[in-house]
Structure formats: structure tokens, C-alpha cells
């Protein structure tokens, strides 16, 4: 399907740069980029935003062979406890429907056990920002994005 319109972040004057600036700030507080990438992919999967992940991610330092396994992170043994806590938080904060308290105390406390308050705040903002991008891209039918 062709996009319904150009990406709204490009249509609304001066909208894109603040979003990119926020992404940059989130990446500077100490949360590993690999964790942020795992969250971006998992939240996008939940929202129906498709990324095309190449079969061969290459040998670059930022390549993470675990990306194709992120949907099954609960069963996979390749994710650290901190990554698992961040992924649980991301899933809970993404699916807010039908629950009085979608982000349970248990999920929150486990994330807080692995991340400083600043890192936890960055995770929450990152999850929200990924959800924003997903909603923009899905509702306007943007072309599936290539990973990276």
C-alpha cells in the first residue's frame, strides 16, 4: 500500500528536529544503545510497525544478532536481566488497554532495580517516543523501514 501522505514529521514545519533532539538526549543518559534498540523493535512489533531486518546483520559493532529473537525475549536466554526488565516495561507501557494498572508495581520495581532514576526516566520517554513514531507511521501507512 502506498503511504497516505508524506510523514507528518516532515509536513508540520519544524516538527522533526525536536523529535530527533529528544532521541539524542535519551541516548546520552547511560542506557545502553542495544537496550534502546531492543525496545524500539519490540514496541514496533506490538504496534504493527514493520522493520525489515536483514538475514545478515553484518559484522559492525552495533549489529545485534538477538534482534530477530526479541519477540520471544521471555523464552530466549540471550537477554540480560536489565534488558528483560526494560522489555517488560516497554510491553506494559505500550499496551495500555483493558487494564486499570497496565504497568504493574512488579514490572516497575524490576526495571528500577536495574536502572538509575535517570535511566528509568529515559526508558519511559523512549518507550513513549517509539510509540509516537509507530502511531504516526502506521496511521499514515509509511513504507516499512529498514533496520538502521
Q: Name the 3-class secondary structure at 117.
A: helix
Give residue-wise pLDDT tens across range 12-30. Answer: 999 999 999 999 999 999 9
Looking at residues 90-103, what average pLDDT do you find? 93
**17-21, 59-63, 121-125: segment of lowest average pLDDT:** 59-63
Asked whether the beta carbons of 59 and 30 are under 8 A apart, the reply is no
Q: Element (H or E) spanning 52, and its range? A: strand 51-52
* Structural class in CATH, domain 17-146: mainly alpha
pLDDT band at 74 (very low <50, low <70, confident <90, very high): very high
What is the average pLDDT across 134-139?
95
Residue 29: other Cβ atoms inside 10 A: 16
The distance from CA 58 to its chain's CA centroid, rounded to whole angstroms, is 21
Residues with Cβ < 8 Å from 65, sequence gap 6 or more? 57
Domain range annotation of the chain: 17-146
Amino acid at each position: 500500500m502506498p503511504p497516505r501522505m508524506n510523514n507528518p514529521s516532515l509536513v508540520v514545519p519544524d516538527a522533526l528536529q525536536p523529535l530527533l533532539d529528544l532521541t539524542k538526549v535519551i541516548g546520552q543518559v547511560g542506557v545502553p544503545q542495544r537496550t534502546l534498540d531492543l525496545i524500539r523493535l519490540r514496541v514496533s512489533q506490538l504496534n504493527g510497525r514493520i522493520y525489515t531486518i536483514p538475514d545478515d546483520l553484518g559484522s559492525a559493532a552495533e549489529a545485534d544478532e538477538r534482534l530477530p529473537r526479541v519477540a520471544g525475549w521471555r523464552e530466549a536466554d540471550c537477554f540480560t536481566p536489565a534488558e528483560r526488565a526494560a522489555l517488560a516495561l516497554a510491553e506494559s507501557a505500550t499496551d495500555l488497554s483493558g487494564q486499570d494498572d497496565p504497568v504493574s508495581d512488579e514490572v516497575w520495581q524490576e526495571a528500577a532495580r536495574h536502572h538509575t532514576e535517570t535511566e528509568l526516566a529515559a526508558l519511559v520517554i523512549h518507550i513513549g517516543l517509539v510509540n509516537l513514531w509507530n502511531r504516526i507511521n502506521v496511521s499514515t501507512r509509511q513504507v516499512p523501514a529498514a533496520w538502521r
